[in-house]
Structure 1
Amino acid sequence: MATLVFCSPMSGEFDVIVIGSGPGGEGAAMQCAKLGQKVAVVERFNQVGGNCTHRGTIPSKAMRQPIQTMVELRHNSLLREELHHINLHLPHLLRNAEAVIRSQVQMRSQFYHRNKVTLIEGEARFSGTNQISVLSHAGSSERVYSAQKFVIATGSHPWRPPELNF
């Protein structure tokens, strides 16, 4: 599993810097790279993928699928008796989800590598015109990177209009 590293100070200038490596950030980075841009992605966690990969869609579906399959098989009249003694346990479901997450992180890391996108681990903040500072995950060092363009893809939260009761 690839972890993110700081790139050398000499490679601190990019055409595009994407902040966030979830689905939106990944898509933006790949599209820019395929258009010939020199691209970096800053991710505050030590693995790519964002919340979708680590806490949202991917883990929930990785846990849901075996349960759904078991329910469907137990409704099958031919298999019902054979499967009656088989049970799913939470630790097994969690291990399966963790394996799926590892696979997703590895696959996404390979996408970045293959498309020559630089991965930078740390917390980004704008520090000047066309410039960001990135504080390392450990908080031990800060580096400055510049780019002509930035994409902020740090995720979102659902908005609940106050006038709607749900």
Structure 2
Amino acid sequence: MRSALSIRAALVLATAVLLGGTLLAVPSGPTHALPPEDTARAAGCRAPNCWTAISFNTKTGYSGWTTPERGRSTKAAAMRAALEKCRSRPVNARARSSCLRPSVREVYRRNGCVAVFFRRRDGRIVEWARGKADTETPAKRQARRAVNDGPGEIVFSRLACGLRRF
């Protein structure tokens, strides 16, 4: 009985060693560096320049933005696309001129995220702010903290992220 347990333990140990050695021999990822084009690939974007922007409408609270799929390789192109989207949205039809250029409050970011929050009181937007960061949560947190806790309702408007090069 003792010899059967010893043999069983030896077999388990041998299997573990063999399996462990096999797992160590298999590469877990690419063995060469990826080119920059593969780390941030999107139509219109060329690493390391993938810009995103938000154009905020101060009357309606609705925004225009660029998306990762339609990222822009220049800041000017991203800002122009966001402004055009804001002005062309049906919800902004009666207030197209209230879409602000992203450059007004630097609501743009290269290879990261931008977010907009606003405070509404009595149906009017009384304050708005933007946040910029490498990822979504810090950008939203920064924008939210920039809006004062005054009377009225604080509303999240938009988050836009470009592709990030790691």
TM category, shorter: under 0.3
Give TM-score, length-normalised by structure 1: 0.24
Between the two structures, name the one with larger relative contact order (CA 8 Å, sep ≥ 6).
1
Give TM-score, length-normalised by structure 2: 0.24
Structure of larger gyration radius:
2
